[in-house]
Structure 1
Amino acid sequence: MKEIYDAKKDPRWQQPVFDCEEFREIKGLDGKPLRYKYYHGTFVTEDEENRCVKFSFCFPLKEHYQGRFFQHLSPFPGPDEENAYFDRPALDNQIVFALTHGAYFVATNMGSKDPFKGGNSDATLLYQSSAAAAELSREIAQKEYDMGRPYGYVYGGSGGAYKTMSCIENTNAWDGGLPYVIGSPYALPLCLTISSLGKRVLRHRLPQILDALDAGGVGLAAIQSELTELEANTLEEMIGLGFPPRTWFMMQEGLMDDGAIPVIAPIVKAFDATYWDDFWQKPGYAGYEKAESATKDLVAFSSRIKKVTVGKEVQRENIGSNGTNDAFLKQLSKGSTSLIELEDVLEKEDLYILGLEFKILSGNAAGTSLTISAVQDNYILLGPTYGIDDLEAVVSQLQPGDAIAIENADYLAFQHYFMYQSVASAFAPYAYLNERHPNLPKRPVESVGPWIAQGGSGSVQDGQLQCKAIVVESLMDEFASPWQADWYRQLVNQQAQKQGMASDEMIRVWYMDRALHNDSVYDLGPQTVNYDGAVKRGLLALSDWVEKKIEPAPTTAYHLQGAQVLLDETADELGGVQPRIELVVNGLKHVHVKVGEKVNLQATIRVPSGGGQVVASRWNQTGQGQTTYGDHIREVCYGEEQLAVTALDSETYQVANQFIYDQPGTYFAVVNVITNPLPAGKRDRFLDVLNLDRVRITVDSCD
């Protein structure tokens, strides 16, 4: 019998010390101040490691409290994570959402100064300290409101999803959990490395690939002849391994980097120290066999420093943020504006910058390896580097004559690491890989993925939920392939059925099409929507499920094709909360028209049962415009919201528009549709759930 952790019985958490208790204000959606009571404190324990557990609570005024709390878990907790939520814009602010939806908000630093405890440290502290804060918050809430035990719901994305699953599988502190954009025990380094390898090998073919996949495109089969053997094989393998190929538009637009690879790669190196030489020196590995995927972009360059022009640290916004795409940045130094001039020019045709290491071989900083962000002739610019607290302090030690090397052999080896893991075929990508490459050498150590999962959350998922759960997963996730939500759902259902429960009695999975990994509400563009509204609706649905026994929306209708997740577009019950859209232009997905000719666009929208109603649409005439990414760019790619919506029945709607093009060219007209549980006049913008569709319009000259 599995032992379930009870924080109330743990003596480590019986002596909280509060250093702040005061009323504060935070701006709501309407710009007006929301008043709340703020608590901050620390658990005092005998051992120093547990003494670093800090927490903060934000309680709404009594008239706004409905008997629950929401607790968010960061992907990569830092020492002050409990206070990382206050400066976010209102629509993107977890505290504001909680205060305006009947809940108080709980946050902790999870007792860790590092994202992955690993090694000899006890990573269970991550979920145990979170449970301790949850239980302490209940004691305070009962005194504040003179009411009974509050219901509690924990949620988090990416690395925070691992922690959320660990919390709801191993403790009794919460009544529901919502992990989003989740991984499996083998997500790392698999998902990061297949993405990284694919975009490097296919970087010159992305326009053809994306055009074939886009509205009115010819499909991937039709462009096979345009690809080299390496490119064709890589594309096939990326799809077979579960990577969503539409996501590569981000690289074409300069928005896609390697994610957390700079943080994960050193962890894998510590776990499997001999791999990096084996890859290049032992038969069967792509490096030794001189496979084109390994050698094509190989760099091995040496020189000496000629001059160092000292600059300053790059000022990076959101350095302390806790989103799914930027929380790992806390583990990296900032970049540098110092310019390093070398005695020799790095001459390589089609140089691939990502993954280049600047290794210092002599001088005061000998033995240090730094990340390169730019190379121009014999000039080098350094980028954010893992394990370096002060990059400029290292740069200041460099002197003319110091020997250096620029290499990427380890980076190229890491991109192939997933191929040599020994993983059961129960995980869809490895079913594909084991069949396609049955004779590859396997690493002599156990697979690194579960070790990372254990170190980053305190446990490896077993599916033994102690409370209800809703999973929100993105279908265009560039860092956590969508098949993993299906894997977890099956795991939970297997455990539930052992207890005599029906399928999906404990869990729902809501897939979100056109959504990426990042959890900012401002992620929006002519290719993508955000999933934030689904997360917020999920929290409220969880509370109704637990507190009122109201069933949430069923799991999204989907099926697996290998490791690819495909929506069941014709299903009677769509499931989930996201609308499905079919946009046509003059009745088709692709039309040819003349300059000045009017085109008629019509979108038919199916809203899943209980998914609310269409409240507005937004249009983009060309498919161009800056993609909103993070908090830096607002919704510049769409026009004003249009409220004209035709309801065909309770779940089917239509919106329409007309465009005229005055220049020849190929355009992608886009409609972005917004649904909400409330009608337009009472709309709760926290609960907006979006989707989009595109059509292709080829405009010919009148000649």
Structure 2
Amino acid sequence: MRALAPGLALALGAAAVPAEAASAVPPECVALRPGGPVQVTPDCVDPLYAHPVIDKQQDLTSPVAHRRVSGHFEGTGVKFTFYLPPAAQWKGRYFQYTYPLSDESALDRTIAFGAASGGYTVQVSGTVGYRHAAAAAKFSEQVAADYYRSGSRRIHGYLYGPSGGSFQTIGAMENTSGVWDGAVPIVVGVPTSIPVNFFVRAQARMVLRDVAGKIADAVRPGGSGDPYAGLTTAQAAMLREATSLGVPLKAWQDPDYVLGLNAPDGLLGFGAVVRQMDPSYATDFWTKPGYLGTEQSELGDIVRAALIDAKPTIAQVETDEDGRPTSLTLSGLPALTSTLGLDFAALATDGTTRVGDLAGTLDAATGVFTVGSGNSAEVLSALKAGARVHADNRWFTALPSYYRHQVPPPEEGYTAFDVLRDADGTPLYPQRALRIGPRIASSTSGGGTYTGKVNGKVVVVDNLVDSDAYPWHADWYAQRVRSALGAEEFANRFRLYYNDNADHLEGPVTGSKASRIVSYDPIVEQALRDVAAWAERGVAPPSSTRYDVTDGQVTVPTRAAQRRGIQPVVDLKVRGGDEAHVSTRDQVTFAALAQAPPGAGRIVSASWDFTGAGTYTPARLGTPASTAFVNTTHRFTKPGTYYVTLKASSSRHGAVGPYAQVENLNRVRVVVHP
């Protein structure tokens, strides 16, 4: 058991601590350089989280029997919960999930998986960085040692987190030592992820929205395989730019998600960050050479055509009982199909001078502007009949291509950005003085700089259909680790598992999406068990996935023996191919081969979805083995186009169970004629 730090003794009962131990004051956790990330070890005390307090302890039976210990760190808003299974189940370890926006309550599956894997579960409410997670991890060991009466028994810990949690996990493994024995960063973000990843997709939305269906059909099973066919020069250039920067071509099977059509601006709020950190960008975009606002090209024409810049007149003002304007009727507005991205400002009586920003919302159909809250007295007093307001989307239209002006230098290893460089590595477009991505990454990771100098075992899980955190990110970080550790130590401490047919979103996959996307929870569970066996018993996990990175796209071999990793591979054919044209009278034959990679286990289940609705019917499967042949016939009673899916799962030891059943799938296209 690690030594009690000040505050920890208070929470557990200071009277139990010998006087000589209480007099030994542990050192404070500090940064190695001014402004650098704080280095956390088992023996130092983080001054921000020095005083944990247990608020409540309960013995519960759901989702499994466990002791729930909940509390907080005094003087902070950070809360924690520990879920401790009965002593007979505990094998001396814990698993800890991290994400910047999580709360202190773990999911039922997370708790039950931990118990089934010989561990207790640690969950901490979200904030940026890793220090709060490290403090909770260290305190959990004190609580666990007391609960299990385990004395000085070594307790092993494993941290994991997706997306923003990957920033935190990597920051933790590079800037702590001895706190966790291993980690599983998931769908990895890197210091260029923001603003690039969402912004390039927003730019693609502006250019490719009308041809998104054509691109999707080309990359779906049975499609032409050529997503550029039939595109204009500007459209093809935009698709190539987005693809080279890392948007997976396969992700276009769901074009609405790639283009962010269900998000207001597709930028996930990071547009506001750019506006705050780089306030002169929009002005430069519309006035200086090298930006799409001034570029004389087909793409520049598309961008300028999207600009709205109007000065409508206030025809009528409605006020409240105190005479404050509540709504304005505007005349002279251009025809608007959407008010998304419009900014408003009150103008002085000369119709030109800006008084200040005007908050509110516009009904494009009626021309009525509802005055919002927070407007200054000067702005409100300027809202009179006959006065003008300024309505424009200059920022909204300029922001998507911000990624062009955030190109990292070649020596940082981001080869995906070669599409935005000339032959000698010089950026093709003007670069902003401030690179925003590294600052956001540093904040989220707790000051981490992605050195690759990890402490402990690390198994990365990354997904090949992830258009939020691009697949090449994981390779970029793997190269950083290899460079920092050397080839031999890299092999002893690092694995990268690529997961096909999985995207960015964790949790169960439901509805029609389940016909083409698998949950990555099971492969993460297996990775956590693998990293624990590796750290505790020296059992090396299966080899990393073999892959290639070309022009921002990650590709993997088609056969499991060559691909390796730990995800099964499914090869499905309909009448021997990827597409078949049949009639409603035909019995259609499907044949599939499911294979587990070497050392990854056996195929334990398979199921069919014939409608594309994500509803599966179990397939006939023999004794679990590393290879499974699955065949069936089906008759379609209604004409139409169907995507038929076979999903298969593998288990390390060949047993069917609720956890670590690693999934993959494959689809074919069936066109049914009357």
* Secondary structure of residue in 1 paired with 2:563: coil
- The amino acid that maps onto 1:411 is F
Structure-to-structure mapping, 1:378-527, within 5 angstroms: 378=367, 406-425=391-410, 426-435=413-422, 438=426, 440-458=428-446, 459-497=448-486, 501-522=488-509, 524-527=513-516
Q: Quote the residue 1:161 is aligned against.
A: 166
Equivalent of 1:184, from 177, 187, 190? 190
Change (3 A) 1:14 1:256: closer
- The amino acid that maps onto 1:228 is T
Distance 2:165 2:94 in 1: 17
Assess if the C-alpha contact under 8 Å between 2:327 and 2:370 holds in 1.
yes
Q: Quote the residue 1:65 is aligned against.
A: 90
Offset at 1:41? 2.4
Greater Cα offset, 298-307 or 514-523: 298-307
Structure of greater Rg: 2
Change (3 A) 1:289 1:684: same
Distance 1:494 1:542 in 2: 21
1:6 aligns with 2:29: no
* Secondary structure of residue in 2 paired with 1:283: coil
| 1:590-642 alpha-carbon deviations (Å, 9 max, x no partner) | 1222221110111111111233332332322233x3xxxxxxxxxxx2133x1
Change (3 A) 1:678 1:282: same
1:359 aligns with 2:361: no
1:228 aligns with 2:232: yes
- The amino acid that maps onto 2:394 is A
1:96 aligns with 2:112: yes
Assess if the C-alpha contact under 8 Å between 2:559 and 2:569 holds in 1.
no
Assess if the C-alpha contact under 8 Å between 2:642 and 2:671 holds in 1.
yes
TM-score, normalization by structure 1 = 0.79
Distance 2:456 2:573 in 1: 43
Change (3 A) 1:278 1:178: same
Structure 1, unaligned runs of 5 or more:
45-50, 116-125, 311-338, 383-390, 626-636
1:677 aligns with 2:662: no
1:218 aligns with 2:206: no
| 1:241-291 alpha-carbon deviations (Å, 9 max, x no partner) | 111123234344787537872432222223222212111111111112251
Offset at 1:175? 0.4
Assess if the C-alpha contact under 8 Å between 1:75 and 1:161 holds in 2.
no
1:687 aligns with 2:633: no
Offset at 1:360? 5.5
Distance 1:302 1:614 in 2: 65
Assess if the C-alpha contact under 8 Å between 1:558 and 1:566 holds in 2.
yes
Assess if the C-alpha contact under 8 Å between 2:265 and 2:341 holds in 1.
no
Q: Quote the residue 1:119 is aligned against.
A: none
Offset at 1:673? 2.0
Change (3 A) 1:139 1:567: same
Distance 2:488 2:315 in 1: 67
Distance 2:232 2:250 in 1: 20
* Secondary structure of residue in 2 paired with 1:164: helix
Assess if the C-alpha contact under 8 Å between 2:582 and 2:670 holds in 1.
yes
Equivalent of 1:140, from 136, 140, 143? 143
- The amino acid that maps onto 1:18 is V
Q: Percent identity?
A: 26
Distance 2:318 2:650 in 1: 55
1:537 aligns with 2:526: yes
Change (3 A) 1:164 1:381: farther
Offset at 1:149? 2.6
Offset at 1:460? 1.8
Equivalent of 1:552, from 541, 546, 567? 541
| 1:476-513 alpha-carbon deviations (Å, 9 max, x no partner) | 1121111000001111011111xx72443221111111
Offset at 1:571? 6.3
Equivalent of 2:242, from 238, 242, 245? 238
| 1:349-408 alpha-carbon deviations (Å, 9 max, x no partner) | 7x466x523536389x96355788x965647899xxxxxxxx8888xx999979665533
1:644 aligns with 2:669: no
Assess if the C-alpha contact under 8 Å between 2:561 and 2:597 holds in 1.
no
Distance 2:505 2:648 in 1: 20
Offset at 1:444? 4.5
Equivalent of 1:597, from 565, 579, 586? 586
Q: Quote the residue 2:280 is aligned against.
A: 274
Structure-to-structure mapping, 1:242-261, within 5 angstroms: 242-252=246-256, 256-257=262-263, 261=267
Distance 1:371 1:454 in 2: 35
Offset at 1:457? 1.5
* Secondary structure of residue in 1 paired with 2:210: coil
Structure-to-structure mapping, 1:10-21, within 5 angstroms: 10=45, 12=47, 15-21=50-56
Assess if the C-alpha contact under 8 Å between 1:358 and 1:371 holds in 2.
no
Distance 1:27 1:11 in 2: 34
Assess if the C-alpha contact under 8 Å between 2:222 and 2:578 holds in 1.
yes
Offset at 1:96? 3.0
Greater Cα offset, 463-472 or 139-148: 139-148
Change (3 A) 1:341 1:619: farther
Change (3 A) 1:295 1:21: same
| 1:661-686 alpha-carbon deviations (Å, 9 max, x no partner) | 2333332222222333354xx52222
* Secondary structure of residue in 2 paired with 1:141: helix
Deviant stretches of 4+, over 4 Å: 1-4, 253-256, 301-310, 339-342, 344-349, 368-372, 374-382, 391-394, 397-406, 436-439
- The amino acid that maps onto 1:57 is F
Distance 2:522 2:667 in 1: 21
- The amino acid that maps onto 1:420 is H
Change (3 A) 1:293 1:580: farther
| 1:16-61 alpha-carbon deviations (Å, 9 max, x no partner) | 2424231143632xxxx533231312145xxxxxx44433322222
Aligned length: 608
* Secondary structure of residue in 2 paired with 1:662: coil
Assess if the C-alpha contact under 8 Å between 2:648 and 2:663 holds in 1.
yes
1:27 aligns with 2:62: yes
* RMSD (Å) for aligned C-alpha atoms: 3.4
Offset at 1:296? 3.4
- The amino acid that maps onto 1:665 is G
Distance 1:404 1:102 in 2: 65
Assess if the C-alpha contact under 8 Å between 1:8 and 1:135 holds in 2.
no
Change (3 A) 1:13 1:138: farther
Q: Quote the residue 2:68 is aligned against.
A: 37
Offset at 1:153? 0.6
Assess if the C-alpha contact under 8 Å between 2:602 and 2:653 holds in 1.
yes
Change (3 A) 1:302 1:686: farther
Distance 1:205 1:348 in 2: 24
Assess if the C-alpha contact under 8 Å between 2:603 and 2:625 holds in 1.
no
Equivalent of 2:306, from 291, 297, 314? 297
Assess if the C-alpha contact under 8 Å between 1:73 and 1:164 holds in 2.
yes
Distance 1:305 1:59 in 2: 67
Assess if the C-alpha contact under 8 Å between 1:241 and 1:430 holds in 2.
yes
Q: Quote the residue 2:606 is aligned against.
A: 617
Offset at 1:693? 1.2
Change (3 A) 1:496 1:191: same
Distance 1:211 1:584 in 2: 18
Offset at 1:239? 1.3
Q: Quote the residue 2:6 is aligned against.
A: none
Assess if the C-alpha contact under 8 Å between 1:175 and 1:467 holds in 2.
yes
1:127 aligns with 2:162: no
Change (3 A) 1:417 1:568: same
TM-score, normalization by structure 2 = 0.82
